[in-house]
Amino acid sequence: MGKNGGISYRTPPVKSQPEKKTQLQVKRFAVVFLFVYVYLMITWEEFNTWPMDRKVRMLYEQGSFVMAIRYYGYKINLYVLGNLLVEVFVNHKQAAIEKILLLDTSHSRMKFYSDQIKLPADICC
């Protein structure tokens, strides 16, 4: 019972982590972060040498879908992968991925993208 007849509440003491354990956790985090950062900052030259199944797996696991456009016989899916913008050309009649290309911002396809989103004037059309 407390001083005023009420119930007294005890809070458990806060355990402080030893300095070494905290530093070890920070170092582990830094190593994991660096690995992930380097892994995702792949160059187009390296990515382009991979077989199609590895490219698709990387885009599925690590990429972010942005949008899709229709362009002639293709449905083109735009992905962000690290610092790359990548187009995946899907032949929807054959249900097959035919090619994967780095986005060419000077190509006429940019008009199809800009029709769907507002792009800064300096990178579009």
Q: Is 110 buried (19+), middle (13-18) or exposed (0-12) by CB count in 10 A?
A: middle
pLDDT digit string, tens, across residues 87-108: 999 998 899 999 999 999 889 8
pTM, whole model, 2 decimals? Answer: 0.63
Q: Per the domain annotation, does 31 fall within a domain?
A: no
Residue 6 lies in a domain: no
Asked if residue 91 belongs to a domain, the reply is: yes
**Is 112 among the domain residues?**
yes
Q: Per the domain annotation, does 87 fall within a domain?
A: yes
pLDDT value of position 9? 59
pLDDT digits (tens, 9 = 90+) for 36-76: 654 557 889 999 999 999 999 999 888 899 999 999 989 99
Q: Which range of residues forms the domain containing residue 62?
A: 44-123
pLDDT digits 0-9 by tens, 11-46 = 666 555 555 567 777 777 666 665 565 455 788 999
- CA 122 – CA 115 distance, rounded (Å): 15
8 A C-beta contact, residue 95 and residue 73: no
Residue 77 falls inside a structural domain: yes
Q: Note whether 99 and 89 are within 8 A (CB).
A: yes
User: Is residue 103 in a domain?
Assistant: yes
Q: Distance between the two ends of the chain, CA-based, in angstroms? A: 77
Residue 64 lies in a domain: yes
Closest CA to 99 of 81, 66, 76, 72: 76
CA distances from 16 to 4, 30, 50 (A): 32, 22, 48
| Number of domains into which the chain is organized | 1
